[in-house]
Amino acid sequence: MCSIMGFSRKTLTPEEIRPYFDRTLSRGPDMSRIVETPNGYLCFHRLAIMGLTEAGMQPFQLGGDYVVCNGELYGFRPLKRQLEQQGYTFRSGSDCEILLPLWREYGLEMFARLDAEFALVLYDGATGSLVAARDPIGIRPLYYGYDRAGAIVFASEPKNLVGLCRKVFPFPPGHYYAQGKFVRYADPAAVARDYVTGDLDTICREIRNRLIAAVDKRLDADAPLGFLLSGGLDSSLVCAISSVILGKKIRTFAIGMDTDAIDLKYAREAADFIGADHTEVYMTRDEVIAALPEVIKLLGTWDITTIRASMGMYLCCKAIHRDTDIRVLLTGEISDELFGYKYTDFAPSAAAFQQEAQKRISELHMYDVLRADRCISVNSLEARVPFGDLDFVRYVMSIDPALKMNTYHMGKYLLRRAFEKDHLLPESILWRQKAAFSDAVGHSMVDDLKAYAEQRYTDAQFEQLSRKYDYCRPFTKESLLYRELFEQVYPGQAAMIRDFWMPNRAWKGCDVADPSARVLSNYGASGL
């Protein structure tokens, strides 16, 4: 994954910076460096994925320019050959080494040209100032704040900035920072033209081809690959497509509670069908409860849904890091935001469905994408998210929302139909109703967390402690427990998260008091 920091001024010494920077050493355990620029510092912890030799260590330098980047630049090899023809030379196999030549050629226009998941900080020698940017969805994390002297500081995670900056802010996705201003350069959720309409066969063929291309480009790695497989549609498709493209047995991993794991049987069925080398990881109630403070610390959130869904992912990735040599994990995130959740079955209109999808895409960096990044990176692994491919996202968002709404008695119908004729998966997986990951690892997990919170507080204590919080006040004992644990590590930083992730409570059928899809009337047999 890698960890980066950038300081616009030398208000601290490298020795004073080091303790803050090393809070995210797990993101890049291979090699560390703090480089002094004429006006400040750039810091880099490396997890070697592309160009594994020491020559791929950052910051990269070109003349008076420097850059640190946590990212994957897809299609970098032809770009590199083009730049070599223009006279640039390269010393490593790292994809990120092309950034400074691109900066020389295109300046701030470079960011809109990148097909990438990235967060970067660049020292521009011509102006003597920092430039920072983040990918359009926010798949790679970036935060900022101002130190006591008023200098701006950028970092991969909020934990780097707590105690260094009074307030910590998420760097907005699809923006760059230059000359003291944040400028939006891309919004993949916006539809800049008329909706795509027409016959479903053509639309589904486009969905299929673009997803295959998205998976294909994410299989390029110099380090070993693995795959998270929940047994749901999204991760199963990513695994099945990858298995065909690679033409060999892939390594898949699934996790569930030791008492009532729902997804494990479906994950095993999908893995057996595609011929994967499959590993099952079991977790217990005691492990979940014991891991809760650490999970909230690594996440930097108090949101109920994010924390619940992180328990299984964190413990699964912990086992992968402990027991294997895998460095890169492909995951199935970002499909729900595009094709719909269980609750979006209640959308009152196509326009409302589209508006909800745009909202969810714009907030991904605070919820599902945050969860995947932290659970994976804290275990010194890198996440790759094919459903977050920019070309794929832009196309799906451009499809007439009336076609994406669940009028087919089956959620995500277009995605399922797109792969119906390929027979990549068993029918029981391809047409399985969606189950929420935090529930499908075992209903007992969420029930155990709720019961644990109930034991921690009396009703009177809940009322008293909840009133301490004006911003996003806890509304259950579970949410109070999470907020209290969050404030121990990130005091006064709750505004980094916009709100509780909840179904759209303004819609009929969605006015619920818990974010779990289990409480919705249309959940049915999804969790069986």
Is the bond into 59 cis (omega within 30 degrees of 0)? Answer: yes
Instruction: Report the C-alpha gap between 52 and 94 in whole angstroms.
Output: 8
State the angle between helix axes of 99-106 and 76-85 in degrees (0 to 180), rounded to the nearest 10: 60
Query: In terms of Cα–Cα distance, which of 106, 124, 251, 225 is closest to 178?
Result: 124
- 322 CB neighbour count, 10 Å cutoff: 8
- 86 CB neighbour count, 10 Å cutoff: 9
Instruction: Report the C-alpha gap between 191 and 123 in whole angstroms.
Output: 33
Contact between 131 and 177 under an 8 Å Cβ cutoff? The reply is yes
For residue 525, give Cα distances in angstroms to 170, 267, 446. Answer: 38, 17, 18
- 2, 69, 165, 204: which one is catalytic? 2
Instruction: Report the C-alpha gap between 505 and 430 in whole angstroms.
Output: 29
User: Coil, strand, or helix at residue 331?
Assistant: coil
Q: Catalytic site residue 2? A: yes
Contact between 376 and 317 under an 8 Å Cβ cutoff? The reply is yes
- Retrieve residue 26's tokens: 């797990």
Instruction: Report the C-alpha gap between 268 and 138 in whole angstroms.
Output: 32
User: Coil, strand, or helix at residue 22?
Assistant: helix
Instruction: Report the C-alpha gap between 408 and 375 in whole angstroms.
Output: 35
- Retrieve residue 422's tokens: 């390929």
Q: In what order do the strands lie in the sheet with 382-384?
A: 277-283, 251-257, 225-228, 328-330, 382-384
φ, ψ of residue 227 in degrees (nearest 5): -140, 130
- Alpha helices, DSSP H, located in 39-106: 76-85, 99-106
Q: What is the DSSP letter of 46?
A: E
User: Coil, strand, or helix at residue 51?
Assistant: coil
User: Coil, strand, or helix at residue 31?
Assistant: strand
Instruction: Report the C-alpha gap between 238 and 332 in whole angstroms.
Output: 7
The catalytic site residues sit at 2
